[in-house]
Amino acid sequence: MSPNETADAHDVLRRLCVDIAREAGDFAHRSRVGLGPGARAAHDTKSSAVDPVTEFDRATEELVVERLLAERPDDSIVGEEGSNRTGTSDLTWHIDPIDGTVNFVYDLPLWCTSIGVVRDGRPVAGAVYAPVVGDMYSAAAGGGAFVGDAPIAVSGATDLATSLMATGFSYHVGSHREVQSARIARVLPRVRDIRRSGSAALDLAAVASGRVDGYFEEFINSWDVVAGVLLVVEAGGSITAFDGSELDVTAPAGVVTAAPALHQGLVALVRD
Ligand code: LIP
């Protein structure tokens, strides 16, 4: 394909991500509203006693998979709630039906539906939809990043000491959180402040739109980051694995991203 044909093909995938993320996110939002304000959503637990999964996580993922396979029956899928399949095409979809599940359970607004698609290990299209706050972020490889129809770009921050950072914490409250709390004790005195939204995808979208200057988090999964990483890249951000090496979005382990002038300093700061 020519570069223009490739860009067009990526934008077709972006629009599919947007359409399905909106339908799925609105379904989850209606479900949350139906529970009543502040009502605690019933949930099971997964990797630990503080890692929730609700019936709405599962139902929303089923909706996404059904819509995806109707349009892309030969593609592979990796879903947070287990709807994995191996297809025959060169595309793999990474789905987090409700990223920020704890916020969803507690009826806090910062959760989203994140859908990203990868070819040869690299994201080519993605959407992150936050229905409570009303933001639809999307990007196509080579086509830029947007919130709604408005182009977005990472911040121009250059000074780590006055930068606003975002991070998140593992559900494994033992060893992982000991490492993460020690890291926060190191980072917090050296930046303006730290925000913990509860959603990796929304943290990455905040970096891409300049709403925070950087984000770092370890022990995360592909479904948390595939769409958000593309947002950051297309918005001009720098992004690597935790040790500063090239990020493998299909097995991220950890992410460090920031406005270009801050990134190397942030990698050095968060490195244990
Ligand atoms: C969440 C991530 C977030 C992390 C949370 C949780 P989930 O994913 O998006 O960055 O800090 O602990 O893992 O479980 O809400 O889909």
User: In this predicted model, what pLDDT tens digit does every residue of 101-124 receive, in sequence order?
Assistant: 999 999 999 999 999 999 999 999
Q: Are 110 and 133 in contact (CB under 8 A)?
A: yes
User: In this predicted model, what pLDDT tens digit does every residue of 199-223 receive, in sequence order?
Assistant: 999 999 999 999 999 999 999 999 9
Residue 98 has a pLDDT of 98
Is it the case that residue 100 has pLDDT exceeding 80? Answer: yes
Considering all CA atoms of the chain, what is the largest pairwise distance in Å, rounded to the nearest integer? 52
Q: Which ligand 1 atom sits nearest the alpha carbon of residue 51?
A: 14
SS3 category, 29? helix
CA 62-68-69 angle, 5° bins: 90
Residue 229 has a pLDDT of 98
> Catalytic annotation on 80?
yes
- φ/ψ of 117, rounded to 5, equals -130, 140
Q: Is 99's C-beta closer than 6 angstroms to any atom of ligand 1?
A: yes
Ligand 1: centre distance to CA 39 (Å): 20
pTM, rounded to two decimals: 0.97
Tell me the helix, strand and coil percentages in the chain, rounded to 5.
40, 25, 35
User: In this predicted model, what pLDDT tens digit does every residue of 180-195 receive, in sequence order?
Assistant: 999 999 999 999 999 9
Q: Which of 99, 217, 218, 234 is catalytic?
A: 99
Residue among 173, 216, 217, 220 whose CB has most ligand 1 atoms within 8 A, to mutate: 220
Q: Which residues contact 171 (CB under 8 A, 6 or more apart)?
A: 46, 47, 48, 50, 51
Q: Is 200's C-beta closer than 6 angstroms to any atom of ligand 1?
A: yes
Residue 155 has a pLDDT of 98
Q: Which of 213, 217, 218, 224 is catalytic?
A: 224
Ligand 1: centre distance to CA 101 (Å): 7
User: What does DSSP assign to residue 259?
Assistant: -
CA 147-151-152 angle, 5° bins: 75
Q: How confident is the model at residue 172 (pLDDT cuts 50, 70, 90)?
A: confident
Average pLDDT of span 145-163: 98
Is it the case that residue 3 has pLDDT exceeding 80? Answer: no
Average pLDDT of span 34-44: 92
Q: Which ligand 1 atom sits nearest the alpha carbon of residue 80?
A: 16
SS3 category, 239? strand
Q: Which residues contact 167 (CB under 8 A, 6 or more apart)?
A: 180, 184, 187, 194, 195, 196, 203, 215, 216, 217
Q: How confident is the model at residue 1 (pLDDT cuts 50, 70, 90)?
A: confident
Which structure tokens are listed for 140?
């196509």
Q: How confident is the model at residue 140 (pLDDT cuts 50, 70, 90)?
A: very high
Q: How confident is the model at residue 44 (pLDDT cuts 50, 70, 90)?
A: confident
d(CA 21, CA 73) in angstroms, rounded, equals 18
Q: Which residues contact 118 (CB under 8 A, 6 or more apart)?
A: 91, 92, 93, 94, 124, 226, 249, 250
Q: Which residues contact 148 (CB under 8 A, 6 or more apart)?
A: 135, 136
What rounded mean pLDDT belongs to the chain? 96
> Catalytic annotation on 96?
yes
Q: Is 224's C-beta closer than 6 angstroms to any atom of ligand 1?
A: yes
Is it the case that residue 48 has pLDDT exceeding 90? Answer: no
Is it the case that residue 272 has pLDDT exceeding 80? Answer: no
Q: How confident is the model at residue 253 (pLDDT cuts 50, 70, 90)?
A: confident
3-state secondary structure labels for all residues of 49-104: CCCEECHHHHHHHHHHHHHHHHHCCCCEEEECCCCCECCCCCEEEEEEEEECHHHH
